[in-house]
Amino acid sequence: MGQSFRLIAPHRRERLCWCGKLGEILFDGSASTLVSLFARPVIPLKSAVNEPETPPVAVRKTVVPRKRRWQTEDSCESSHSHEPTRDKVARPRLPEMPVEISRIIFDSLDITSVFLLGVTCQRLWVIAKSVIERHFAAYLGAWAGTPIVCVGTGTCRGRNVTYPQGLLLPEDVDELQEGLDLDELEDCLPDEYAGRPVNLYDIADARYDVIKDHGVYFPQDLLGVALDFTHKYPRPADILQLANPEPSYFYPTNQEWVLRNLTTQEFVRPTAIALHKSHIHGPFIDKLGYGEVILSRICWSTDDFTSMAGEGIHQGMWARHALDIVPSTHLDIGGPWKDISDEVAEDIAEIWKSEYGEDWRKQHW
């Protein structure tokens, strides 16, 4: 039947919800969903929290507040000396606070409360937008910068198995040796398999948290509130966009996005991987992109069967490495960086040629 492979992040004790034979998941488009796990989101500069260019209407000096119920025309005319005091008491103080203080208040609230407080005035809306955007951005790039591996079911079991250096902590090795509890065994396994040594695939399948990629959607925890608000009250023009953003909002396409190997200080440019430059959309590349590059280089198993025509990727050179996808301007930081775009492009071409033949590019155009 062949072995299956599963992507895991051991240091985070997380695994993807899907797995499969390498000869299938590498070529059927599954790998494209990995990009949102490694691409670090960018908050657009226009969303930076600054003071509005003009004062919010609520605090302009030219605005005359409505008369209070306890006021009469006579009292308004005869008690001018008391009006500044009353105005000072009634005027909302939060919008006038320094941005730093307002942000502390916003950061202490749940996201729905942030939204509702933000719509009360223009100045607070600017701050709330920043907080809400960071809330959604946190769902992207979850595995950026953490060691990852695509481990196979055929990996040998026991303490003497040598995993890539740095992938496992000493306590992880002990866990593999101790094995699974009786209630963690698959239904098809007899009870005597409890307590026997297992491999990393087994442990991840039984004990690691399952995560879903959020490349297609975000949790809609604010959309219902925003929709209800738009039918009842005046609203900011961008309220629905903020409550239900597209992931692409955090990945501007007017920048070049590179795949970095943080462990080896190497990077790959999109033009070396894409079959055509029109396929490049920020970190996302149609047909063949960074997801396929990552998957083809992080596999690891002691069993060399991969359900593929090509050979040699069952112990990938990037297994247990930390990766991310960022705008190329990030290469100005933390260098020097080595450009291995041509090398990676040749490796990808060899894999696809082995599977589809010499004209593989035409078949996948």
Question: Does the pTM of the predicted model rise above 0.85?
Answer: no
Decide if 299 contacts 318 (C-beta within 8 A): no
Q: Please tell me the total count of domains within the chain.
A: 2
- Residues 194 and 230 both lie in one domain: no
Report which residue type is found at 328. Answer: S
* Predicted pLDDT at 54: 35
Least confident of 49-58, 141-150, 239-248: 49-58
* Predicted pLDDT at 235: 77
Which tens digit of pLDDT belongs to each residue from 276-332?
999 999 999 999 999 999 999 999 999 999 988 877 789 999 999 999 999 999 999
Decide if 132 contacts 222 (C-beta within 8 A): yes
Residue 36 lies in a domain: yes
Query: SS3 breakdown of the chain: % helix, strand, coil, rounded to 5?
Result: 40, 10, 45
The dihedral over CA atoms of 349, 355, 357, 363, expressed in degrees to the nearest 10, equals -80
Average pLDDT over residues 49-74: 36
- Residues 269 and 230 both lie in one domain: no
* Predicted pLDDT at 246: 87
* Predicted pLDDT at 60: 31
Average pLDDT over residues 231-247: 85
- Residues 231 and 102 both lie in one domain: yes
Which tens digit of pLDDT belongs to each residue from 18-42?
899 998 999 999 999 999 999 999 9
Least confident of 28-32, 72-76, 172-176: 72-76
- The CB-based long-range contact list for 277-286 (8 Å cut-off, 24+ gap) reads 281/248, 281/253, 282/39, 282/248, 282/251, 282/252, 282/253, 282/255, 282/257, 283/35, 283/39, 283/251, 283/257, 283/325, 284/32, 284/35, 284/248, 284/251
- Residues 286 and 327 both lie in one domain: yes
Of the two residues 78 and 225, the one the predictor is more confident about is 225
- Residues 316 and 264 both lie in one domain: yes
* Predicted pLDDT at 73: 40
Least confident of 10-19, 79-88, 150-159: 79-88
Average pLDDT over residues 42-55: 55
* Predicted pLDDT at 68: 35
Average pLDDT over residues 139-168: 91
- Structural domain for 324, as ranges: 5-41+143-213+251-364
Query: CA–CA separation, 75 vs 79, rounded Å?
Result: 5
Of the two residues 54 and 132, the one the predictor is more confident about is 132
Q: Sign of the CA dihedral 274, 278, 255, 140?
A: negative
Residue 65 lies in a domain: no
Task: Classify residue 222 by burial, with Cβ atoms within 10 Å: 0-12, 13-18, 19+.
Answer: buried
- Residues 191 and 272 both lie in one domain: yes
Any residues with CB less than 8 A from the CB of 98 and at least 6 apart, and which?
Answer: none
30 token code pair? 């599954």
What sections of 97-213 are H helices per DSSP? 99-107, 111-118, 122-137, 170-178, 200-207
Which tens digit of pLDDT belongs to each residue from 111-137?
999 999 998 888 899 999 999 999 999
Query: CA–CA separation, 142 vs 209, rounded Å?
Result: 13
Query: CA–CA separation, 278 vs 365, rounded Å?
Result: 11
User: Which domain-ending residue is among 227, 250, 273?
Assistant: 250
pLDDT bin (cut points 50, 70, 90) of residue 220 is: confident
Residue 174 lies in a domain: yes
- Residues 153 and 295 both lie in one domain: yes
pLDDT bin (cut points 50, 70, 90) of residue 70 is: very low
- Residues 103 and 224 both lie in one domain: yes
- Residues 112 and 149 both lie in one domain: no
* Predicted pLDDT at 47: 54
* Predicted pLDDT at 215: 58
Residue 57 lies in a domain: no
Which 3 state secondary structure label does DSSP give 7?
A: strand
- Residues 19 and 80 both lie in one domain: no
User: Which domain-ending residue is among 204, 230, 250?
Assistant: 250
Query: CA–CA separation, 220 vs 139, rounded Å?
Result: 12
132 token code pair? 């809400």
pLDDT bin (cut points 50, 70, 90) of residue 195 is: confident
Helical (H) or strand (E) element with 291: helix 290-297
158 pLDDT higher than 80: no
- Listing DSSP states for 79-94 in one string gives -TTTHHHHHHHHS-SG
Average per-residue pLDDT for the chain: 84
* Predicted pLDDT at 194: 87
Residue 59 lies in a domain: no
* Predicted pLDDT at 57: 29
262 pLDDT higher than 80: yes
* Predicted pLDDT at 259: 98
Q: What pairs with residue 176 in β-bridges?
A: none
- Residues 128 and 150 both lie in one domain: no
pLDDT bin (cut points 50, 70, 90) of residue 236 is: confident
Which tens digit of pLDDT belongs to each residue from 332-356?
988 799 999 999 999 999 999 999 9
